Structure 1
């Protein structure tokens, strides 16, 4: 029993994680994926635009809604202390959790302000908040936006072209992804035996814990 408990403690930052609570400073990876006290967290019950996703504004012009949503979330929550209650784990091994900052449900705020959508596939907790945001044309609802889960599905099924982003692991163990056109893209080799992998988008790589190459 002691051996099992010790393994569980070593798997996560001791100060930030317990079986029923994660607490720590917030670093926003993208709008709905945060690092909280060093633990990668996916916010429960909502879905925000992918970081590289585009939308159309009220005039029909394209704009970078994914980057905008992430920036808005950073301005509100970056560096603050969050308390999160784990609910599940997703396929990227992120902790799916409901998080509060100063007693306020952050997902509720994001949906009310039109920065994210109620993710009905997993929860109905934020449907009422989304109805209010739609009625008042808040944030993303002021224009034309493809909900993120449809955007991702269409991106995967657009054609048979293989995923082209290389998820490399450096000699120091750092996870770095290289996109076509970057300086070391052609030289970078992928070894699945080392845990390296291919990604279909930059947002998918970031969600899995890889950072972009600097060049």
Structure 2
């Protein structure tokens, strides 16, 4: 009986990970959207948090808000299609998404509004190197990696 359950999970558990969600998205922050009431975390990227600031020429600017605004500008009211890769500890779907044929995850990194989340993916190495070299988005400033910023907030 135990083996049948394992086989059933192996056979039927995988297709759920390939689930596709599409519709108009609302932006939560630079790496999280919501489609049909379902939170979706963009796979393999990490964007500054909404309250996070970066330093540009000695002045703080709300880079987290700017990242969310950039994502909102990209998506607009166009339908987004997301392919599920996982579910995170907050029960958000983790996915790669496209809008008008554009890879949203890659676009956010390539335009400097997110960094590659190397702990989970190395898919955006080239996009991040390009953004850093061109000093796009957050790369035009000094900033704390989003994961380090979150960790510091939890210890306050």
TM score, norm. by length of structure 1:
0.63
The one of 81, 84, 94 aligned to 2:92: 94
Counterpart in the other structure of 1:21: 20
1:28–1:78 contact (8 Å) kept in structure 2: no
Counterpart in the other structure of 1:34: 33
**Gap regions ≥5 residues in structure 1:** 1-16, 159-215
The one of 70, 93, 103 aligned to 2:101: 103
Counterpart in the other structure of 1:61: 59
| Structure whose CA Rg is larger | 1
2:17–2:85 contact (8 Å) kept in structure 1: no
Number of positions where the alignment pairs a residue of Structure 1 with one of Structure 2: 141
CA distance in 2, matches of 1:78, 1:117: 22
Counterpart in the other structure of 1:138: 136
For the residue of structure 2 that corresponds to 1:68, the secondary structure is helix
Cα displacement (A) at 1:149: 0.2
TM superposition outliers: structure 1 runs of 4+ over 3 Å: none
Counterpart in the other structure of 1:129: 127
CA distance in 2, matches of 1:95, 1:149: 19
CA distance in 2, matches of 1:90, 1:131: 27
Cα displacement (A) at 1:49: 0.3
Counterpart in the other structure of 1:72: 70
CA distance in 2, matches of 1:99, 1:25: 12
More helix, by proportion = 2
CA distance in 1, matches of 2:18, 2:145: 32
For the residue of structure 2 that corresponds to 1:121, the secondary structure is coil
**Greater relative contact order: 1 or 2 (C-alpha under 8 angstroms, separation 6 or more)?**
2
**Gap regions ≥5 residues in structure 2:** 1-15
